[in-house]
Amino acid sequence: MTPGSSSRTSSLRDRVRPASVEELANIPWLHTLNPAERRRAEAAVVVGDAESGDLVCRIGRAPTYWFGVVEGLLKMSNDNADGTSMTYSGLPPGGWFGEGTALKREPYRYNIQALRRSVVAGLPIDDFHWLLDHSIGFNRFVMNQLNERLGQFIAAREADRLNNPDARVARNLAALFNPVLFPGVGELLRITQQELAYLIGLSRQRVNEALRTLQAQGAIQVEYGGLRVLDLAALREGAVGGRGAA
């Protein structure tokens, strides 16, 4: 796993350990494997405790693992030549990412960074390819991931073009509640308004206003330490006030 900031006393690589029974139980694709495949995969999976700011993947580095989020919150982003940063996606619990890069064994074209203390799982890339060669269930899972992620990025592109901030917040929340890509989230997403603002590219104050609007529309419920989705379809449409905004 890629080290984080050099100012830290230890890197993410130094914090790698075997996955616990509870952590393995929260890895969705393990359930698609037959017993022999699952035994091999469970023996290969490792987890690392990422601190806030740690880089799990770094632009230009060759992939050595296929990664997933067990706990916490990561972001996928890229740094532009002018010093600005573009965030592609938030990565909440249950999400596995980088399968396209792992398939092609090409260097990463994005950074993956922890926004808070997180537990990250990794399947070594050679075991990833072994499962692709031997498991129909695993192939279906990866195919569904790629298809769902394509739809997610198309929706993200559309959301970025919206002039209505409420609709942008709604669409970005819908992406974080995606049950295929992030099955560990369920109906309650543990996220702060500052983290959400960071992912969307709006101020925390503007995100707070949008959340109040979405709650008034019955799409979400703001709870202590997180957000509960009440109407995912409305969020995907940009909620009532966001429909048709452009």
Asked if residue 118 belongs to a domain, the reply is yes
Asked if residue 3 belongs to a domain, the reply is no
Question: 100 and 197: one domain?
Answer: no
E strands present in 58-190:
65-71, 74-79, 85-91, 96-97, 111-114, 118-124, 188-189
**Total count of domains within the chain:** 2
Question: 43 and 141: one domain?
Answer: yes
Asked if residue 185 belongs to a domain, the reply is yes
Which residue segment(s) compose the domain that 192 sits in? 164-242
Asked if residue 58 belongs to a domain, the reply is yes
pTM of this structure? 0.82
Question: 201 and 142: one domain?
Answer: no
Are 189 and 230 in contact, with CB atoms under 8 Å apart?
Answer: no
Model pLDDT, residue 158: 67
Q: Which tokens go with 2? A: 């890629």
Per-residue pLDDT 10s for the chain (246 aa) are 544 444 455 577 778 899 999 999 999 999 999 999 999 999 999 999 999 999 999 999 999 999 999 999 999 988 766 666 778 889 999 999 999 999 999 999 999 999 999 999 999 999 999 999 999 999 999 999 999 888 877 766 666 666 788 888 998 899 999 988 998 888 899 999 999 998 888 899 999 999 999 999 999 999 988 999 999 999 988 765 443 333
Model pLDDT, residue 243: 39
The DSSP secondary structure of 110-136, one letter per residue, reads SEEEESSSEEEEEEEHHHHHHHHHH-H
Q: Which CATH number do you get for residue 22? A: 2.60.120.10
Radius of gyration of the chain, Cα coordinates, nearest whole angstrom:
18
Model pLDDT, residue 87: 81
